[in-house]
Amino acid sequence: MRSKVVVGFIGAGYAASIHARAYQKVYGVEVELRAVTASRPERAAAFAEQFGVRRVAADVADLLADPAINLVDICAPNHLHADLAVDALNQGKHVIVEKPLTGYFGDQTESASGDANGRHDMVRVALATATRIAETARANGVRLLYGENWLYAPAIQKVRQLMAASGGTILRIQGEESHSGSHAAYAQHWRTAGGGSLLGKGCHPLAAALYLKHEEGLQRDGRPIRPRTVVAEVGHLTRNPAFVAERRKYIQDGWHDVEDWGTMLVTFEDRSIAQVTASDAVLGGIRNCLTVYGSRAVAEANLNPNTTCVAYAPSDDSFANEYISEKIETKAGWSFPSADEEHAQGYSHEIQDFVEAVADDREPVSGAPLACEVVLVTYAAYLSAAEGRRVDLDQFRTAIPAVGDVRKGR
Amino acid sequence: MRSKVVVGFIGAGYAASIHARAYQKVYGVEVELRAVTASRPERAAAFAEQFGVRRVAADVADLLADPAINLVDICAPNHLHADLAVDALNQGKHVIVEKPLTGYFGDQTESASGDANGRHDMVRVALATATRIAETARANGVRLLYGENWLYAPAIQKVRQLMAASGGTILRIQGEESHSGSHAAYAQHWRTAGGGSLLGKGCHPLAAALYLKHEEGLQRDGRPIRPRTVVAEVGHLTRNPAFVAERRKYIQDGWHDVEDWGTMLVTFEDRSIAQVTASDAVLGGIRNCLTVYGSRAVAEANLNPNTTCVAYAPSDDSFANEYISEKIETKAGWSFPSADEEHAQGYSHEIQDFVEAVADDREPVSGAPLACEVVLVTYAAYLSAAEGRRVDLDQFRTAIPAVGDVRKGR
Amino acid sequence: MRSKVVVGFIGAGYAASIHARAYQKVYGVEVELRAVTASRPERAAAFAEQFGVRRVAADVADLLADPAINLVDICAPNHLHADLAVDALNQGKHVIVEKPLTGYFGDQTESASGDANGRHDMVRVALATATRIAETARANGVRLLYGENWLYAPAIQKVRQLMAASGGTILRIQGEESHSGSHAAYAQHWRTAGGGSLLGKGCHPLAAALYLKHEEGLQRDGRPIRPRTVVAEVGHLTRNPAFVAERRKYIQDGWHDVEDWGTMLVTFEDRSIAQVTASDAVLGGIRNCLTVYGSRAVAEANLNPNTTCVAYAPSDDSFANEYISEKIETKAGWSFPSADEEHAQGYSHEIQDFVEAVADDREPVSGAPLACEVVLVTYAAYLSAAEGRRVDLDQFRTAIPAVGDVRKGR
Amino acid sequence: MRSKVVVGFIGAGYAASIHARAYQKVYGVEVELRAVTASRPERAAAFAEQFGVRRVAADVADLLADPAINLVDICAPNHLHADLAVDALNQGKHVIVEKPLTGYFGDQTESASGDANGRHDMVRVALATATRIAETARANGVRLLYGENWLYAPAIQKVRQLMAASGGTILRIQGEESHSGSHAAYAQHWRTAGGGSLLGKGCHPLAAALYLKHEEGLQRDGRPIRPRTVVAEVGHLTRNPAFVAERRKYIQDGWHDVEDWGTMLVTFEDRSIAQVTASDAVLGGIRNCLTVYGSRAVAEANLNPNTTCVAYAPSDDSFANEYISEKIETKAGWSFPSADEEHAQGYSHEIQDFVEAVADDREPVSGAPLACEVVLVTYAAYLSAAEGRRVDLDQFRTAIPAVGDVRKGR
């Protein structure tokens, strides 16, 4: 008999809403949305009202004190993830942490910016934090569920299946997430975001690339194929003087100490490559795509845009309030509206997997090892870009949990 | 409190399997798969085993006699729909009938082919049968649920929303369903299929076109916009002498007395047009698409193919048994694999709507009026093609239930 | 030794400009742009200046009197084609006539509209006129060069080659030309245009379809495959009452007595089908596309739009005066700019072929038989739509020149 | 009066054939194909026969001795470019050199491979060679014409115009040329090829990116925007042990000492970025594409594949000998055939520009400064990849000709 899953939300914003809608569509497991807490109580109240959550908790401690809650869903800013997760895990709750798991946030003063710090420390601190979360889960016998929706997107899963069916070798993976920039203030500061485009957006295609190489190795040899080195470059495209001088801006600027573009070139132990790009300086709506070049097949996942639905409007106001796609600057002209975004982006399958993982006491598809490896590669990439050199990942890897280890426990 | 929905399947083939998988993902309503019956009992048994259906009924009567079953799901050949549906409805069950609802099947002798009959009778007989089903449902106070998945496909629903948001007029709709031909023997004979491409495939884009015009009218004026005339042409492309002479055939031939291509040009009461094409002589995998040309927007739904997932294989065997898309002749070259076909084609939402319609005692999105109008337009199209003239629909319409009437009852 | 080609233009508008630019890029034959005449002399003068034409002729007679001119390029409104062509041919000049070759234009009074006439006469008059032009060319031993650019578009030629290479049978052709409507006054009246969308736009995909079936037959059996019947429907989409009531219109209205949408369903003697659609009520920029469904291949030509060049602008004014594509209503959003339109649409190859045909005294790819067959099928389609019935083409065909006959003369 | 252009070919292979066809379509300038020489005389004779070249020269000296020849077209392997070009320029001929202009080729012994050398020397030697060619042209008052077709591709030119029209800033450029690997033996060795994918294929998107930034700067500020640093990674994807173990290989292997994948991340002086990728390990036919992300527009050129022509074949042999696209492994499935490849890839416009540059004594669009800058950035990228660090370009730049300088001389 499957356990009932009783959910407590920490945070009541955009990510929490997506999760809440997904919980409502879970099948085969009984789910109760029990409590929510948020820094602004009125927002928590509205959220509870909208999604039928039973009560608003006074604060995190109040929420964690509820013994019925067995799954805590953390949808808070990046720099709060680690402490919240560790507290919840120590209370014996299973925990969902939204991407990225954690990172380096300096000493939390204005001046402790990403620019100013030695990146070597940054990698070690970020990894230590990630490892602390994973170890806490393990020590308490509960699950860390890593909120990486790309792994669950039907198109990414189809790509994985196609590559597996081909029986070939994945030689190269190219992925990107980009759009015209977050308006959220906390995303512009390293001390709250932990990084810029590379962390906030690049974590998606990076996670998918790591996952695909893990799965390839597990399927063929029983052990995941691991990344070995990273070379990266980051940029501040919105500091281009010609752009700065433009009067009307369609792209978000004002990034304090975080990059608005970055690329990581990751070399795996088998010589295969992942090219991961992320940018906050791309017009035309969100771009979420991944291409896998194999020795016996090519497979491409276009989360956005794709041609499932194609539309045209002669004027910007033609479609009124109808949603087109994330961050598109105009509704005029041709566009590629998202027909069922939460499904296509993987949120439905992610929450279904998390709920089943809790109910059946098993590892999720997206768990601690992947979450930690994303932190490793991304901060090593920051180090690479800061020092202008290729970075070997093995030197940092000792502490983080390995995919193979966890799999054995399945 | 929502009623529990208890399902009995008549038929255990392809369509039933799709439905069964969809029932397993229904949320928010308790569903029990109670019984299944099929002409070949071993097939019913295997189906029950695979999908956790509780028992195999001896026959239809046995299944209908189970008082717990409140929803009968008919996935049988076209010519059996009417009698099965009427029986089930008369037992007070809600009934799902797969598309097309019904049609004209002659006197069931080999010679009573589609070619040989006066088409005027054909329209009247088909409509009378459709009306009989609808009336039986109404008389018994139960629902007729019409299994037209296109109405539920996320891309079609998005097109509807985009057109509504535009506030404009739908001037023209163009839709097609085509592929390289069914291998099923019953599809090749009018007496079992009730028609060829135009009925079996054209019913999908036709239903979507009718639905969109219904909705446009209901939204703007409180009453649906109705089709008024149809001009159609049908063909037997596989009887082309050059094709007949080809040695290797990639396209199904051997159609006994049904067309393998047809187009209907439907003019609505507001002068708008639907161009609906269906063919069993198209290579390259199934083609399911619809474009809506409005006065303030264009919107296009590409159920297949689309670019959500794109793949390439250098050889036909590269992807082994991995599914690519319906009826694709080769897995070599570039292809557009279906990432989550049942969701994209609308099956998940269709079954969710049907289950909720039963549980909440409300009309489904796809119900009797649409089912009957599809029969009307399609058989009038057959009449048009046979006599080589435009056909006025109003002369045949008296008996069928109107969309507006049913809507009022919502 | 190839003859020098000396060109005289009748007309100095849009089509003449396209031709003039194409003459400048002709290679391998010496071309002189000798004279131009136009109803507005100042326009002729500007044209001569822009394209280096040596003189402005006082009138048509003056131009035709120049013995050096051996090629007369008629870029005048449809209703003037026939008399101009006959005059020029009788002077022993080779003649280019822009599409459509000719048609039926009533008695040239306001009331002699397309609506008011019996369509039977219309077909006979249009065909007699077309035949008169073709016969005059033949009698004078000069060439009639039919300005149908689609036949020369690289994508259409590639489609032809692909189908030929496949060795299969063309089972079905689907083509469309559509956009949001001409602003020219003469296009809105039957007495100057000779018809609406079906003639003015449909002539392009129709010609391509006829050409492909001609070529298929010539290649396989040494004789062209001919169209046998046509069923057509036309509409007045812009008379939709909801559209009429809209305040802001993005689609041209005000069509006097010509249709703004039409579809022809043409059945060939081998049972193959051409579905040709044309509309003046389509948003989103010009749509020029053709798909050929064969028994051993599918091939598709997308003259517009295609993905050779893809662009995005956040605002309608972002691209300033840069050309995007014909009739696009906004430059905002995603678009598919034409990178080298005159080449892609076939104009460069058309003029090269015409010049070589004159220089080498050979038939062009696009000549009299095709021009006449387009007139035949289109006016038979008008008859079909007016009378609401299928029309047999053979009854009208006696007089027109046959493709096979001309080919033999190659 | 424009000079007549009299061409002598050195080399009679694939590139020479493309050029020869393009010369035949040149308009407005008289062109004579006067002589050809090749290492295999019978190949030169066949070439002369095929393209109407007047004579086969005994050797290069014989060809250069012909005083009538004013344009020498060098289509020889990379390692021969420099000496051939310098000889021809010193004879007062204008010279076309195919891409890449030149490079580093070691000491021409087997062991002098790309792997074995210090990359610092490599950059200096390659640049000195490039500069020597450019200086020789300048000293002799003749033109160096750099055979980079991408600059002339209509889609790339349209992208340039769109970005200029937008009035915005180019923030980022992403380009790629990839396919499944050259079969030519000389391409597998550094001593004849001068490098691997990054040089042989990456030169195309790199040149386009440099050109677009040059033009942006020239238009806005009167001086080109220059690249400042490069970070690169190269790989040997075909040495992946799993791939090595595969029995049937669809991707070329056997690369001796050159990479089969590389990416350069180029940062310009205005902080904009170019991401250039090249690979010899990509299935699915050649991939030639470039996307430009501007502050006020996005524009994308898809030289291959694009949707101008789309085809499907159920079997690999369906299209017989008909050309589909470069390096496609199968003709089965969906494909994107090249409709007029020489035009779409820019060859027609390139040769037209080169001929006009000679005839009118002006700089070509693609000349010495761009050719040298491609050498600079590419070899700096090789240095970066070898040493695993970011490389500053300014240290190497002193000698090479600047775009601005040449432009002033226009």
* pTM recorded for the entire structure: 0.96
The amino acid that residue B293 corresponds to is Y
B296 vs A320, B155, B225, CA distance in Å? 11, 19, 18
Please give, rounded to a whole number of angstroms, the shortest distance from the CA of C283 to a CA of chain A.
Answer: 7
Q: Cβ-count burial of C198 within 10 angstroms (0-12 exposed, 13-18 middle, 19+ buried)?
A: buried
Closest CA to D197 of D267, D266, D279: D279
CB contact under 8 A, A165 and B320: yes
What element of type H or E holds D222? none
Given phi > 0 = left and psi -120 to 50 = alpha, else beta, which region is D365?
alpha
Alpha-carbon Rg for chain D in angstroms: 21
State which amino acid sits at residue A70. N
What number is the ipTM of this complex? 0.95
Considering only CB atoms, B283 lies closest to which of D284, D312, D330, namely D312
pLDDT, tens digit (0-9, with 9 covering 90-100), for D294-346: 999 999 999 999 999 999 999 999 999 999 999 999 999 999 999 999 999 99
| pLDDT tens per residue, range A47-59 | 999 999 999 999 9
What pLDDT score does D121 carry? 84
Q: Looking at chain C, which residue has its C-alpha nearest residue D163?
A: C319
pLDDT in the model for residue A359: 97
- Selected for mutation to probe chain D from A252, A271, A280, A310 (highest D CB count within 10 Å) is A271
Q: Which residues pair with A302 in a beta bridge?
A: A289
Q: Is the pLDDT of residue C410 over 60?
A: no
Taking an 8 Å cut-off on Cβ atoms, the answer to whether A309 and B28 are in contact is: no
B329 interaction partners in chain D (CB closer than 8 Å): 314-315
Give the model's pLDDT for residue A184: 87
Instruction: Name the residue among C232, C240, C279 with its Cβ closest to that of B270.
Output: C240
Facing residue for D284 by CB, picked from B284, B334, B336: B334
Angstrom distance (rounded) from CA A379 to CA A194:
10
Q: Which residue in C386, C351, C24, C30 sits closest to C196, CA to CA?
A: C386
CB A190 within 8 A of CB A257: yes
Given a contact cutoff of 8 angstroms between Cβ atoms, the answer to whether B280 and B197 are in contact is yes
Minimal Cβ distance to C155: which of D167, D297, D309: D309
Which chain B positions have a beta carbon within 8 Å of A165's beta carbon? 318-322
CB pairs under 8 A between B and D: 48
How far apart, in whole angstroms, are the C-alpha atoms of residue D60 and residue A125? 65
A339–B306 CB contact, under 8 Å: no
| Among A286, A329, C338, residue whose Cα is nearest residue D159 | C338
Confidence of residue B406 (pLDDT cuts 50, 70, 90): very low
Residue in B162, B312, B338 nearest the CB of A297: B312
| pLDDT the model gives residue D1 | 62
Q: Residue D163, Cβ neighbours under 10 Å: how many?
A: 28
Average pLDDT over residues A267-278: 98
Interface test with A, best of D198, D271, D277 (most A CBs within 10 A): D271
Instruction: Give A78 or A398, the one with higher predicted confidence.
Output: A78
C221: distance to nearest CA of chain B, Å?
Answer: 10
B155, B297, B315 member nearest A309 (Cβ): B155
Angle between helices C203-221 and C154-166 (to 10 degrees): 30
Mutate to test the interface with C, among D23, D174, D307, D355 (most CBs of C within 10 A): D307
Q: Can the peptide bond before residue A369 be classed as cis, meaning omega within 30 degrees of 0?
A: no
Residue in A closest to C249 by C-alpha: A314
- The answer to whether the CB atoms of A277 and D273 lie below 8 A apart is no
Give per-residue pLDDT as tens, C49-60.
Answer: 999 999 999 999
Q: Tell me whether strands B144-147 and B170-178 are parallel, antiparallel or unpaired.
A: unpaired
Q: Which amino acid is at A192?
A: T
Strand partners, B311: A299, B335
What backbone torsions phi and psi does residue A325 show, to the nearest 5 degrees? -160, 165
Q: Which pLDDT belongs to residue C400?
A: 66
Of C54, C24, C19, nearest in space to C36 by CA: C54
Cα Rg, chain C, nearest whole Å? 21
* Touching partners of D (3+ C-beta pairs < 8 Å): A, B, C
With 80 as the cut, is the pLDDT of residue A115 above it?
no
* Residue C378 near residue C210 (C-beta atoms within 8 A): no
Q: Establish, for the pair of chains A and D, how many residue pairs have beta carbons separated by less than 8 Å.
A: 141
Q: Taking residues D200-229, what's their average pLDDT?
A: 98
**What's the angle, vertex CA A199, arms to CA A194 and CA A202, rounded to 5?**
170
Q: Using the beta-carbon criterion (under 8 Å), do B330 and D314 form an inter-chain contact?
A: yes
A92: left (phi over 0), alpha (psi -120 to 50) or beta: left
Average model confidence (pLDDT) across chain C: 94
Q: Which of B158, B288, B323 to mutate to test the interface with A (most CBs of A within 10 A)?
A: B158
> Which tokens is C230 given?
């046509």
User: Looking at beta carbons, which residues of chain A come within 8 Å of D271?
Assistant: 235-237, 239-241
Q: D-chain residues within 8 Å CB-CB of A238?
A: 171
Q: Given this model, what pLDDT does residue A1 score?
A: 62
Distance CA A202, CA A260 (A): 11
For the stretch C10-68, pLDDT in tens is 999 999 999 999 999 999 999 999 999 999 999 999 999 999 999 999 999 999 999 99
DSSP A138-154: HHHT--EEEE-GGGG-H
Annotate A225-257 with b (16+ C-beta within 10 A) or e (fewer): bbbebbbbbbbbbbebebbeebeebbbbbebbb
Answer yes or no: is pLDDT of D110 > 80: no
Chain C residue numbers touching B298 (CB-CB < 8 A): 282-284
Length of chain C: 410
Strand partners of residue A311: A335, B299
Q: Provide the shortest C-alpha distance from residue D165 to chain C (in Å).
A: 5
Any residues with CB less than 8 A from the CB of B293 and at least 6 apart, and which?
A: B170, B171, B172, B173, B174, C279, C281, C282, C283
Rounded-to-integer distance, Cα A114 and Cα A110, Å: 10
Cα end-to-end distance, chain D, whole Å:
18
Cross-chain Cβ contact D339/C154 below 8 Å: yes
Beta-carbon contacts of residue D397 (< 8 Å; ≥ 6 apart): D376
To the nearest whole angstrom, how far is the Cα of B6 from the nearest Cα of chain C?
Answer: 45
Q: Where are the alpha helices (DSSP H) in B181-266?
A: 190-193, 197-200, 203-221, 241-245
Q: Chains with ≥3 Cβ pairs under 8 A against B?
A: A, C, D
When pLDDT is averaged across residues A265-290 and rounded to a whole number, the result is 98
CA–CA gap between residue C74 and residue C134 (Å, rounded): 15
| Average pLDDT rounded to a whole number, residues A94-119 | 77
Take residue B205 and report the two structure tokens written for it: 């884009």
Sign, Cα dihedral of A241, A243, A248, A249: negative
Measured CA distances, A368 to A8, A149, A228, A375 (Å): 20, 14, 19, 11
Q: Write the CB contacts of B233 (distance below 8 Å, at least 6 apart in sequence).
A: B262, B263, B385, C231, C265, C267, C273, C390
Shortest Cα distance, chain B CAs vs residue A175, angstroms = 14
**Shortest Cα distance, chain B CAs vs residue C288, angstroms:** 15
As a whole-number percent, the residues of chain D with pLDDT over 90 amount to 90
Among D305, D269, D288, CA closest to D205: D288
CA distance A390 to D292: 27
| Termini Cα distance of chain A | 18
| Distance between CA atoms of residues C72 and C372, nearest Å | 19
Tell me the C-alpha distance between D402 and D8, whole Å: 29
Query: Which residues of chain C neighbour A309 with C-beta distances below 8 Å?
Result: none
pLDDT of residue C3: 85
**Yes or no, beta carbons of A311 and B300 under 8 Å apart:** yes
Output the CA angle C354-C359-C360, nearest 5 degrees.
100
- Cis-peptide, bond into residue D305, ω within 30° of zero: yes
Indicate the DSSP class of residue C151. Answer: G
Inter-chain touch B344–A308, beta carbons under 8 Å: yes
- When mean pLDDT is compared across A100-114, A343-357, B378-392, the lowest value belongs to A100-114
Judged by CB atoms closer than 8 Å, whether chains meet at B308 and A310 is answered as no
**Mean pLDDT within D103-120:** 67
Distance between CA B366 and CA B379 in Å, rounded? 20
Q: Provide the shortest C-alpha distance from residue B167 to chain A (in Å).
A: 8
The encoded tokens of residue D389 equal 């660090």
pLDDT tens digits along C259-306: 999 999 999 999 999 999 999 999 999 999 999 999 999 999 999 999
Q: How far apart are CA D42 and CA D104, in angstroms?
A: 30
Q: What are C83's two structure tokens?
A: 């008399």
Alpha-carbon distance of A102 to D256, in angstroms, equals 44
- Kindly identify which residue of chain D lies nearest to residue C310, measuring between CA atoms: D300
CA distance A211 to A233: 23
Give pLDDT, residue D409: 36
Tokens 């598309």 found at: B99
**Count of CB contacts below 8 A, C vs D?**
148
Q: How far is B306 from chain D (nearest CA, A)?
A: 13
Cis peptide before C314 (omega within 30 of 0): no
What gap in Å lies between CA C256 and CA D257, rounded to an integer? Answer: 73
Evaluate if residue B115 carries a pLDDT over 80: no
Interface contacts A/B by beta carbons within 8 Å: 147
Distance CA C287, CA B174 (A): 14
